[in-house]
Homo-oligomer: A and B are copies of this chain.
Amino acid sequence: MARRKAERVKAVPVGGRKRYEQVAEALLESIRTGKLPVGATMPGELELVTQFGVSRHTVREALRRLEGLGLIGRHQGIGTVVKAREPQQSYVQSVRSPEELLRYPAESQLVVLHVEPVRASRKLARLIGGAVGSQWVRVSAVRRMRDTHVPICHVDLYVLPEFAGVAELMGRKTQPVYEMIEQKFGHRVNDVRVEIRAGLVPEALAEVLEVPAGSPSLQVVRRYFGEDRKVFEVSVSEHPAERYTYSIQLRRGWQSGAEGAGSWTT
């Protein structure tokens, strides 16, 4: 280790480019070319200080940028390890609530049809992802336009019996049901899984949806998982095709380097 002090410019960066940018780019290049492969431990901060002839503060700023790009992870006592070879460009869809994912017009209204306890048959258990024989409460409802009363969709909502109280709130408030459960029972959502498929309107729903049985429909199943990783709410909705289109926009951006925000496997 030659330990050359490196001639230090006074304070102004040389080419107008900032010092920490230069350091970051140099490290980025080492990662990109594989000189620092994924999984490798990077040189320590002090080492980088002597290597680039900058202060530790500058080195840390450079590392902070790389961390923000999700390229490296840093742990006290361990060091800095390379996490990815390239900034993971990703398309990010960001929605503030799962309801926004399948947005309904604000002028729509949910009308509860009936509420009843159900025991999960094999088929139902498969649908909601719970155990066969488990107890649930089913709330059947229709979403209509507030003025014209045109039905938008039919919903079968399954919630755990302890949360059955939300049924009476559904008609009164426009709030998403999962949010009611969060507020009323303190049971927080951890993640949501959504399935969308095409189907045909079943005969039993044709009348209430005011379409002929067998016409095309968009079927959406949403499963809400709590912090205990267990399902506590499942909604199954049926949207007549001509009245509903699901639309999203994805923007190219940078993947957040935050620990929890990483990718998951479907």
Contact = CB atoms under 8 A, between A and B. Distances in A.
Interface of A: 88-98, 101, 103, 188-200, 216-219, 239, 241, 244-256, 258, 260-261, 263-264, 266
B103 A95 contact: no
A250 B191 contact: yes
Given A191-B251, A216-B216, A263 B198 contact: no
Copies of this chain present = 2
A247 B192 CA distance: 11
A245 B89 CA distance: 26
B191 A216 contact: no
Nearest to A68: B258
A249 B260 CA distance: 14
Q: Is the interface of A mostly helix, strand, loop or mixed?
A: strand
Nearest to A103: B266
Contacts of A196: 196, 218, 245-247
Contacts of A218: 196-198, 218
Given A199-B216, A246-B197, A92 B94 contact: yes
